[in-house]
Amino acid sequence: MSTASTTDLYEVTMALSYLAEGMTEPATFDLFVRDLPDDRGFLVAAGLEPALDYLSGFRVTREDVEAFAAVLHRPAAELEPLLGLEFTGGVRAVPEGRIVLAGEPLLEVTAPLPQAQLVETYLLNLVSHQTMIASKAARCVLAADGRPLVDFSLRRTHGVQAGMQVARLGALVGFAATSNVAAAVAYGIAASGTMAHSYVEVFPSEEAAFRAFARSHPGPVTFLVDTYDTEQGLTTAARVLRELGRGPGCAVRLDSGDLAALAVRARQILDDAGLPLVRIVASGGLDEYAVDDLVGAGAPIDVFAVGTRVGVSADAPYLDTAYKLVAYRGEPVMKLSAAKMTLPGPKQVFRRPGYDDVIALRDEPPPPDGEPLLLPAMADGRRTREPYPVTDARQRFAADLAGLPPAARRIHHPEPPHATLSEALTALTGRVRHRIEEDVVGAHRRPAPREYVPRPAGRRPGDGGGRAP
């Protein structure tokens, strides 16, 4: 089976019905985050490059059709209309690394309706998870205040593939390295690692362990010093490093206890041993909150290694993302459900100074100080450009972060900016809502007509052809 089978069953049943009904005209879907999680002042757009890879290779194979038939308990011949279906549409999207706000489309898909429907689940998974993790990692970068960060998350992420994504996303927002060897090779990220407590435990003493490790690694080494007694481990590490003539590039790692107090003591021991260039690495259940506290306390920690809590975004493990139809056959549509109403029509987001963003219609002219965020990414089922490297996204993030209001940058109790709607989008929303209430909702309240007369495709009474004004 291909990735086309990695979807929710209702995507398959809807797509099959669309094909049976001949409903294959272009549809536009917006993918966006309804609301930010608590303690989030912004989001970082991520997952676009993997999403474009997925769409570029999307094709329903014979094995997929057989899988669909098996779960539906129907003959495979009845699912044949789906065979060979490919993505031939277009995508406009916010490039990875850009900071985005609630309600702003991260990407917009326009494709024949069955295609646009079938790709929903996979796209939501890619963009939701990666935007969530990138946003968590970005807050660690803020908290570290210029100190290097290392990704240590692989052993506890929700799946190995998630671990690969976390390493890439950390690099995307400015992490210095990852412990994940495969990710380091795949994405050109620096690899970083030390030793486990088990390494120390198998030697007769900490000193024996440190000397053996140094013999195997002639370059800079990092000693884990808290297997038994941390202060004793620090003293031993300092002595070994001094006697071996190691210093610049080497480090000691603190993984437990009162990290702020231990870091102060570690700095004293290392400086007294004539090792001012040996760095202090801290790890052990860290995230942006713990890093912010340590930096605020003035702890002399040079490098922060963050793992589990960042790799699973422990305090905000999901985003309230949605993938909603906004137009079909050129006609704007919307959902009126309570608390989940959507905005009709293809859109553009204009970034203005101070994050005074405006969500507008796609073809609206930009305000004088507005920059469009949604850019062409695919046309006719193919990328419109080569994949961006992680370094490009990292530069975009750094530039966006520099302009983010201070209140949104806060680790505790941030205040996120809010996008506003353009006058044209507000007016269209009102017109579409009125039309739906008259044609659909009102129809349930009126007596049924004596004779049903089908309307011409794409037209509503009095709307001049059904296209968005």
Given a cut of 90, whether residue 414 has pLDDT beyond it is yes
- Going from the C-alpha of 294 to that of each of 144, 145, 448, the distances in angstroms are 9, 11, 69
Q: In the chain, where are the structural domains located?
A: 3-133+316-427, 134-311
If pLDDT is split at 50, 70 and 90, which confidence band does 424 have? very high
Superfamily of domain 134-311: Aldolase class I (3.20.20.70)
What share of the chain in percent tops pLDDT 70? 94
- The mean-pLDDT minimum among 54-63, 176-185, 443-452 falls in 443-452
User: How crowded is the C-beta side of 306, counted as CA atoms within 13 Å?
Assistant: 32
Instruction: Name the residue type at position 442.
Output: G
**Section 125-136 average pLDDT:** 98
If pLDDT is split at 50, 70 and 90, which confidence band does 439 have? confident
Task: Provide the pLDDT for residue 247.
Answer: 85
Query: What's the CATH number of domain 3-133+316-427, 3.50.50.60, 3.20.140.10, 3.30.70.360, 3.10.180.10?
Result: 3.20.140.10
Contact between 224 and 255 (Cβ < 8 Å): yes
CB atoms within 10 A of CB 63: 12
Beta-bridge partners for 252: 223, 280
Beta-bridge partners for 103: none
Q: Tell me: the pLDDT tens digits for 334-371?
A: 999 877 899 999 999 999 999 999 999 999 999 989 99
Q: Tell me: the pLDDT tens digits for 172-199?
A: 999 999 999 999 999 999 999 989 999 9
Burial (CB count <10 Å: 0-12, 13-18, 19+), residue 363: exposed
Task: Provide the pLDDT for residue 445.
Answer: 62
Q: Give Cβ neighbours of residue 21 (< 8 Å, ≥ 6 apart).
A: none
pTM: 0.92
Task: Provide the pLDDT for residue 451.
Answer: 45
Nearest to 441 by CA among 309, 291, 305, 334: 334
Beta-bridge partners for 220: none
Given a cut of 80, whether residue 24 has pLDDT beyond it is yes
Pairing of strands 90-93, 375-379: antiparallel
Task: Provide the pLDDT for residue 452.
Answer: 36
If pLDDT is split at 50, 70 and 90, which confidence band does 443 have? low
d(CA 211, CA 180): 25
**Section 320-335 average pLDDT:** 97
Q: Tell me: the pLDDT tens digits for 228-273?
A: 999 999 999 999 999 999 989 999 999 999 999 999 999 999 999 9
Nearest 5 degrees, angle CA 23-CA 24-CA 27?
Answer: 100
